[in-house]
Amino acid sequence: QVQLVESGGGLVQAGDSLRLSCAASRRTFNTYAMGWFRQAPGKEREWVAAISRSGGSNGDADSVVGRYTISRDNAKNTQDLQMNSMNPEDAAVYYCAATGSYYAVRGNDYNYWGQGTQVTVSS
């Protein structure tokens, strides 16, 4: 079992930046690939970014490439999502997720999920 707790959500204006963090409970954090997903009201859950166990591989969805950066610190059991140049379409509940796979971009491949953190972007 891995417990994940997100933090850092809030209200920002268009063009602003926000940094989300996810703290994992297990000391074997480095055996899990990590990802971020988001879900806006009335929409399906959307993959945002993923990072491999070691952090050597990562990827972003087309909607956020060049604006979002995923990172992890295996010594601290945390992963972060730096979000820049935000726009109202980025507003959603953001979820941190963990998988035993080396790297994954599909939600169904993730075994553990956080409770989510709300991000609101005003225009």
Whether 4 has a pLDDT exceeding 90, the answer reads yes
Q: What is the pLDDT of residues 36-70, one digit of tens each?
A: 999 999 999 999 999 999 988 899 999 999 999 99
Question: Closest Cα partner for 39 from 109, 118, 123, 108?
Answer: 118
Q: What is the pLDDT of residues 73-96, one digit of tens each?
A: 999 999 999 999 999 999 999 999
Dist. CA 60–CA 112, nearest whole Å: 20
